Every structure is written in structure tokens, then in C-alpha cells.
Amino acid sequence: MIFIYHKNAKTVAVESEKGQSIEFDSKLTVAETLYVLAQRFASEKLIWCHVDLKKQLNIEGIEPLFHHKKILVSYNPSTDLFLDTAIGYVDETPFIKLNKSVTFPTWQMSSAVGGIFAEILFKLIDSIPLDKNFDYFLCSLAKLSMSKGLLCYSEPRLLKQKIETAPLEKTSRYILFRFVKQHYRTRWVFLLLINFFLYERKLPFLPVFFSLFYKNRAKNRMSSDNALENIEVQSLKRVINKATIDIIIPTIGRKKYLYNVLKDFSKQTILPNNIVIVEQNPQEDSISELDYLKSENWPFEIQHIFTHQAGACNARNLALSQTHSEWVFLADDDNRFEPTLLSDVFDKIKQFGALVVTTSYPQKNEIKKRSKVIQWPTFGAGNSFVRRDVLDKVRFNMSLEFGYGEDGDFGMQLRNQGYDILYLPEPEILHLKAPIGGFRTKPVLKWQNDSIQPKPSPTVMLYQISHNTKEQILGYKTILFFKYYKHQKIKNPIKYYFNFQKQWERSVFWANELKRQNEV
């Protein structure tokens, strides 16, 4: 490992792992120093650290963090992040609101302390300018490289103990708008301006004006998309010991489709230990229709739970409580897949040292958009694999039953426990999107008789207030306001505005009611 210590935007020392001084050019910026060192020490890890944190640097704990090459980590002990919280007005992803107490996926890197493999930096450096502002350079590097397969984390284990430094000097609006212009579509610059006016009563015209002179880095660096393609990944972490797996499947009125899913599992090169099927039928006095569970012989145990209580959240929670194998596959009753699905997923899990993965989940004739293993901003409840011990403290939120957002909420619970979610482009699971099964009754929602119908759905709002920043929630509100206009009957924009405000307030009210009831 090579250690780069810096202060006041200048490198002050470069040392080897044994503490020996390494010659460097003091006239270079910190980013330029990294570039030079990446050329000289191609097989090393480059670790940067603010000189005031040198005694806190956890040198002994760094090595395990880099269990494969495509990893970038940093940690900011300050209460503030480099970019203004207003970045949430234009970015809805879970990478904005960080949980600093655990390893957390994010592109919001810090100059305080961090590290990357020199080989990886050298591959990426040609596509990313060496900004004088080291924090800006690191955030840009991570933002542009996450889609290329670089896994980026806020990592508290870089320091020996949790400390809190003084708040950073607030990033200027010029830097904020410049970052948005260089890393998002141009329209987001103007949307950011609108949000500043709507929610802060400010009109930063000059930052907007000057940002327009910067080129978008994502558009102009398309040739670097495959920069990491030839970097071999093989994690040093041992995440699979027994390679045993349980499957959970909620089902309702899809007898034929579920049968095909079970047949696919019976042909697997690695057979599941146990398949937990939660069959729902809300009709009183109804009985199971899944006669083939007992009439046919299956090469695995089937645990069949029949319930009159409808709802995927409840069904999945019931099933999760019955799992005992090392791994759990959260599946759906209308999936189709190849006989090597389980073995191929296990190979990928070993390769990346992952504890949670979500597979590609195309519908028939759908074109796959992503071809790289990347950090996934959501979670698929019908196509994800999770190690069993990870599930001990997470469950599907019953407040979201019959609504939207339970998948995303489950994913956020996992992230806040310190577990990243990786997307696997291969192998893929075909999602048939089968017609809604029989025996379904339309749930009676508590707000459906309100004279003012909530907008968005209270379950969507509950996700927003549970997991997003204030700015992310307000940014979502602005987008919803414009998108919803063409789908509703009020065409007078002023009347629409006041009606939308009332609908939003009702949604907040019911979301808080759902949250309160779930806490009781």
C-alpha cells in the first residue's frame, strides 16, 4: 500500500506501508499525485488521508476492505458531506442519504480518508479530469464509474474509532450546479433552480449561468464505459460454506405457473433444500388448489403454508421465518429459468464476495439495458438471493401491504444493516408477468373514501419519509406535480396547484398513520 497524506489541497507526504518516504512533486494537486503514483505503483493500493487523521488511520484494517479490485472506499467523519444537501433535489437514489455507522453504497466520496487500487485508477483516469478540488475529483470519479462496475462505499472501518470532525465549509452553489451539469442531464440544472425557488425562495441565476459552460462528463466519456472490462474480479471473502439454499414463493391463484416454477427447480444442477410456498386464498372455507405438491414426487422438501390472509408482505414474512439453509432465494410464482440458475448465481456470489444479489429480470422480448455487475438502487422481491444470517433483522414492512414500495423498503433495510445489493446481468430470470390469479379481493384502503384522495399513494409517501432526505422528498414532489398534471381532470394550473397541495398533505397524513400503526 502507498499512503498519500494531504492538507490544504496539497500533498504533504507519501509513504510506503513500512513508513518509508517516497519522493513526490509538491507542485502537483492531490489528484495529479495519485495519477503519477498509479503509474509508478500499478500493483499497489493507493490510500489517501488528511494529515490530521493520520493517527486515526486504521492501517491494519484496510486490507480486508479491498477483497477484490473493483472497489473504491472513503469515509467522511464530518457531519457534512462535500456536496450541498440540495443535490437531493435532483437525485432520488439511495446513495444520497448515508448511514455512516455501516458500510454504505454511495458515490459521495471524501478526501478525508479513502483508497483504490492503482490499476483501477489508472484505467479510469483518462476519462475523468484531474480536478484541483480533490473532493470534487473523487465524487466525479465515483459517480461516473459506478455504472462501469466500480463498487463505491462509505467505509467507517477506515478509521480506528468513530470520530466526528468539524463541519466542512459549505460547498458553493457554483460547485453544486457545476456538478449537476457535468453528471446529470442538462434539464436537471433548471429543475434544481426551480426547486431552490419553490422551497428556499432563492434564485441562484449566476451559478446556473456559469454551469452551462461545462460539458457533461457522462456524455463525453462514453468510450470509457468498458474501461474495467478486462479487470479480473475474484473476492478473497468466503461468503459460501455449505452452498445450501431455501426458496420462498408467495402465490395466489396461479396453479399452472407455480407448477412450471417447481419443475424448473427440480432440474437444477444444485437442488434447493426446501421450498416454502405460501398460498393465499382470502375466500372463507376455501382449501388449497395445489394438489400436485403431494401427488407428485419432488427432489426437495416442500413446506406448504395455506392462509386466508392475502398480501405479499405477510406471505413473504411467513416464508422467511421458515428458512434454515445458508442462503435464501426470494422467488415469484411466474418465473422461468435455466437448470444452472442456482449454480451460476453461487459462482457470481463467490466471485464478488456478495451477501445480497438481484438478478436480471426481463419480461419476454425485453432488451437488457445493463451488462455489468453494478450496485443496484432497488431490490427485487421475486429475483434476489440473500445469505440467511443477513435476514435476521429485516422483514417486509406490513404498512406497505397492498401498496407500492415494499421491495425498495426491504432493500433500504438491508443497506442500513451494512449490506450492499449487487445487480447481476447474468444469469437472468424470465418474468412472465402472468395475469393476476383468481381468488383476489380488492383491499379496502383506509383512505379510499376520503373526499381528497392522497397523491402519491400513502405507501409511496411512507417510503419517501422513511428513507429519503428532505430535499429528495421535495424534489420528488416537484416531478410528480408536473407528471401528474396530464393525467388528471383539472386543467386550470392554479386550481390544479392548490388541489395537488391538498392531495400531498393527505398523503403525508396517511403515511404517518401507517408508520404509527406499524410501530404499535
Domain range annotation of the chain: 2-171, 245-431, 458-519
For the chain, the 3-state helix, strand and coil shares in percent, each to the nearest 5, are 40, 15, 45
C-alpha cell of 503? Answer: 392531495
- Whole-number pLDDT of residue 42: 93
- Whole-number pLDDT of residue 137: 96
How many residues are listed for the chain in this entry? 520
Report which residue type is found at 483.
Answer: K
C-alpha cell of 454? Answer: 392522497
Contact 330, 306 (CB under 8 A): no
- Whole-number pLDDT of residue 439: 58
Rg over CA atoms, the chain? 25
Q: Which residues of 57-92 are buried (b: 16+ CB within 10 A; e: fewer)?
A: bbeeebeebbbbbbbbbbbbbbeebbbbbbbbbbbb
**What is the model's pTM?**
0.94
- Whole-number pLDDT of residue 393: 93
**Pairing relation of β-strands 104-105 and 151-154?**
antiparallel
pLDDT by residue for the chain (520 residues), tens digit each?
999 999 999 999 999 998 899 999 999 999 999 999 999 999 999 999 999 999 999 999 999 999 999 999 999 999 889 999 999 999 999 999 999 999 999 999 999 999 999 999 999 987 788 999 999 999 999 999 999 999 999 999 999 988 777 777 778 999 999 999 999 999 999 999 999 999 999 999 999 999 999 999 987 554 567 888 889 999 999 999 999 999 999 999 999 999 999 999 999 999 999 999 999 999 888 999 999 999 999 999 999 999 999 999 999 999 999 999 999 999 999 999 999 999 999 999 999 999 999 999 999 989 888 899 999 999 999 999 999 999 999 999 999 998 888 999 999 999 999 999 999 999 999 999 988 766 566 777 889 889 999 999 999 999 999 999 999 999 999 999 999 998 888 989 999 999 999 999 999 999 999 988 877 4
How many CA atoms lie within 13 Å of 281's alpha carbon, on the beta-carbon side?
A: 17
- Give 371-423 as a DSSP string: -S-EE-SS--TTEEEEEGGGGGG----GGGTTSS-HHHHHHHHHHHTT---EE
Instruction: Compute the distance between CA of residue 399 and CA of residue 327 in angstroms, rounded to an integer.
Output: 26
Dihedral angle, C-alpha 269, 272, 273, 279, nearest 10 °: -150
- Whole-number pLDDT of residue 222: 47
Closest CA to 438 of 248, 251, 313: 251
Give the bridge partners for 271, in sequence order. none
- Whole-number pLDDT of residue 225: 74
Instruction: Compute the distance between CA of residue 456 and CA of residue 400 in angstroms, rounded to an integer.
Output: 13
Instruction: Compute the distance between CA of residue 143 and CA of residue 184 in angstroms, rounded to an integer.
Output: 10
C-alpha cell of 134? Answer: 480533490
SS (H, E, C) 166-233: CCCCCCCHHHHHHHHHHHCCCHHHHHHHHHHHHHHCCCCHHHHHHHCCCCCHHHHCHHHCCCCCCCCC
CATH class given for the domain over 245-431: alpha beta
